[in-house]
Amino acid sequence: MSTPIPARIAALRDTMARHGIAACLVPSADPHLSEYLPAHWQAREWLSGFDGSAGTLLVTASEAGLWTDSRYFSQAEQQLAGSGIALMKQRVAHAPEHLSWLQQHLHQGDRVAVAGDSVSVATQRQIERLLSTVGASLRVDLDLPGAIWPERPALPHAPVREHALAYAGTSRAEKFEKLRHALRKQQATHHLVSSLDDIAWLTNLRGSDVECNPVFLAHLLIETSGHATLFVDRDKLSDGLVAALASDGIRLAGYATLGETLGELGIGDSLLFDPGRVVSAVLKAVGKDVTRIEGPNPSTAFKACKSKAELTHIREVMRRDGAALVRAFRRLEERIAAGMTQTELDVDTLLREERSAQPDFVGESFATIAGYLENGALPHYRATPKAHNTLQRHGLLLVDSGGQYLGGTTDITRVLALGPTTSEQRRDATMVMKGMIALSRARFPKGASGPQLDALARAPLWACGMDYGHGTGHGVGYFLNVHEGPQSIRPPVAGGALVPLEPGMISSIEPGLYKPARHGIRHENLAVVVEADRTEFGEFYAFETLTLCPFDRRALEPGLLNPEERAWLDDYHASVRAALAPLLEDADLAWLEKHCAPL
């Protein structure tokens, strides 16, 4: 029988007391600082019962709190009920963030513990600076949650496969040469990469160690002189793949042996690493004689700007994905009209069936969000067999889903009207659409960043006294993580980096609006930054919309759109019809024609 959450927290407190620890910090992280974690590192979820992708647990001898953002407030409140763990809301006025709260609850001589394989070098420094102000200290050599986790899942053991050059577009040799050129400019003899998507992109390899993300557990140490070592479980790779890597100067070493190799670096060696993407437990192996160079992984910027070959594949994937969505939505609509019982779970099944029929489909890019009525107001809602809504012939259904294909990654949200809708629902959906159109139509100068553009999507909502609590856009990988940096479109953050938007970068555009216990709205397309024009004021860029699927105009109030907005929507639907019609026939084609008709 599973141990109750209060008993797990009690066991953690007992272990803390034995080690003289006043507070234990349990972030959502693994040794690669991934957003989505293999089960082996889901200690925060195991201890708290909260399974959202973002959250930090903080436990003291007498209190326990779970910090998460507005996407998960309702979910966390439900999952933490009766656990003795308080929901602590992040980024809410007058509410302390977890480190500020910690600072207020510590005393001279107190010690705080966090597992060194779950905290970045940069975050460790931040915590240590904060603790020093109250005379407390930090220990990163204790994995207290791991010490009390009796049935901790083993490390994943999925096979690693080649991402064929026909899809990757650029060979390993070319990518590593470009990387080494950047390393020489920084006078680095070695470069450590721990972020899984960077490693997968550089090596043209893919795996499935993380749900919905085609990556594999590994570290990568690149030498400027011409060799690289991939620290990975050898059994995951075929003999042929090992030989192919060797021919490109990449040798293998055991996943757990990175520390030994780093410890062999010495005088004359200089190591480039990103302190925000390398964990404390890894870096501690580097000797004091090694020159440390801190900076972002060059590969992060390289892979963010998709090549012409990658964009060609992505555009075709968008056609195939859009056709799959049309078929799924048409089938759902017909089932509901026929009186068949359909639930949020059936939406997920339909999407999977249709996507699976497409060429080069690998799997979902994230767990489908299908939220009907009040469930749509939970931005990261996930229906389960125990808790889900049955669809009715009225109101709004929010569907956020995506696919992983050999030629790209998709992420799309549509709001479907299942029958009559209220004026409030249509107004809200239209205000969000106005924001989406404003950002999609934007022209901006070279050097502009996402935080500078974010307000364009929010302005129509702000004018009505409304807003949403999540970012407007995230980068998207190429048959990689659906959430990718370095760029993002979100409100400015004090001290946050302003990463310029550059041609080839793919971003989601997804403003939203959420009214608890009523409904949620989110419209989402993926768009790529392209060159627009050059004037006496310099170069200007724009967004080219990539996603191809109709919006449900029955959920909108067309009278609230101005002529430019109506023209954009009509033009978009004309392009969707032109792209998808050759892939559809009969009832599916008729459905497309109906939903792409001009306003």
Helices (H), 49-88: 73-80
Structure confidence by residue, pLDDT tens digits, 216-257: 999 999 999 989 999 999 999 999 999 999 999 999 999 999
pLDDT at 2 over 90: no
Report the share of the chain in percent with pLDDT over 70: 100
Helices (H), 218-365: 239-247, 258-263, 280-283, 298-304, 308-337, 344-356
Weakest mean pLDDT among 59-63, 101-105, 342-346, 397-401: 101-105
- Look at residue 380 in the predicted model and tell me its pLDDT: 83
pLDDT at 138 over 70: yes
Structure confidence by residue, pLDDT tens digits, 460-486: 999 999 999 899 999 999 999 999 999
Asked if 332 and 350 count as a contact pair (C-beta separation under 8 A), the reply is: yes
- The strands making up 64-68's β-sheet, listed across from edge to edge, are 86-89, 64-68, 56-60, 23-26, 111-113, 137-139
Conformation bin of residue 560: beta by default, left when phi > 0, alpha when psi is -120 to 50: alpha
User: Stretch 1-26: mean pLDDT, rounded?
Assistant: 93
CA distance 501 to 489: 9
Torsion of CA 292, 294, 299, 302, to 10 degrees: -140
What's the mean per-residue pLDDT of the chain?
95
Q: Select the CATH number that applies to the domain covering 308-595 from these four: 1.10.3720.10, 3.30.70.380, 3.20.20.140, 3.90.230.10.
A: 3.90.230.10
The neighbour count for residue 226, using CB atoms within 10 Å, is: 10
User: Stretch 417-436: mean pLDDT, rounded?
Assistant: 98
For residue 276, what are its two tokens? 């925000």
CA angle in degrees (0–180, nearest 5) for 214-216-221 = 125
Structure confidence by residue, pLDDT tens digits, 513-531: 999 999 999 999 999 999 9
CA angle in degrees (0–180, nearest 5) for 185-189-190 = 110
Asked if 54 and 72 count as a contact pair (C-beta separation under 8 A), the reply is: yes
Burial (0-12, 13-18, 19+ Cβ within 10 Å), 491 = middle
For residue 379, what are its two tokens? 């931005």
pLDDT band at 501; cut points 50, 70, 90: very high
Structure confidence by residue, pLDDT tens digits, 288-341: 999 999 999 999 999 999 999 999 999 999 999 999 999 999 999 999 999 999
Question: Going along 423-475, which residue ranges are E strands?
Answer: 443-445, 473-475
CA distance 239 to 275: 34
Structure confidence by residue, pLDDT tens digits, 175-198: 999 999 999 999 999 999 999 999
356: Cβ contacts below 8 Å, ≥ 6 apart: none
Q: Is 161-299 in the same CATH topology as 5-147?
A: yes
Helices (H), 93-218: 98-104, 121-132, 144-147, 165-168, 172-185, 196-203
Structure confidence by residue, pLDDT tens digits, 551-596: 999 999 999 999 999 999 999 999 999 999 999 999 999 999 999 9
pLDDT band at 91; cut points 50, 70, 90: confident
User: Stretch 51-79: mean pLDDT, rounded?
Assistant: 89
Closest of 45, 48, 38, 44 to residue 5, by C-alpha? 48
Burial (0-12, 13-18, 19+ Cβ within 10 Å), 518 = middle
DSSP for 559-597, written as a single string: GGS-HHHHHHHHHHHHHHHHHHGGG--HHHHHHHHHHTS
Architecture of domain 161-299: 3-Layer(aba) Sandwich (3.40)
Asked if 92 and 69 count as a contact pair (C-beta separation under 8 A), the reply is: no
Strand-pairing partners, residue 56, are: 67
Closest of 23, 262, 303 to residue 138, by C-alpha? 23
Longest dimension (CA), the chain: 75
8-state DSSP, 156 = P
Q: Using alpha carbons, list the distances in angstroms from residue 414 to 112, 219, 328, 350, 555.
A: 45, 37, 12, 15, 10
- Burial profile 184-220: b = 16 or more Cβ within 10 angstroms, e = fewer: eeeebbbbbbbbbbbbbbbbbbbbbbbebbbbbbbbb
pLDDT band at 428; cut points 50, 70, 90: very high
Closest of 132, 25, 505, 452 to residue 300, by C-alpha? 505
User: Stretch 412-423: mean pLDDT, rounded?
Assistant: 97
DSSP for 407-435, written as a single string: TEE--EEEEEE-S---HHHHHHHHHHHHH
- Look at residue 74 in the predicted model and tell me its pLDDT: 80
pLDDT at 77 over 60: yes
* Identity of residue 485: G
Asked if 363 and 506 count as a contact pair (C-beta separation under 8 A), the reply is: no
Domain boundaries, the chain: 5-147, 161-299, 308-595
* Identity of residue 478: Y
Report the share of the chain in percent with pLDDT over 90: 91
Weakest mean pLDDT among 1-10, 253-262, 443-452: 1-10
CA distance 523 to 398: 9
CATH domain 5-147 topology: Creatine Amidinohydrolase; Chain A, domain 1 (3.40.350)
Asked if 303 and 296 count as a contact pair (C-beta separation under 8 A), the reply is: no
Burial (0-12, 13-18, 19+ Cβ within 10 Å), 390 = exposed
pLDDT at 94 over 80: no
- Look at residue 1 in the predicted model and tell me its pLDDT: 41
8-state DSSP, 352 = H
CA distance 369 to 222: 39
CA angle in degrees (0–180, nearest 5) for 89-509-554 = 100
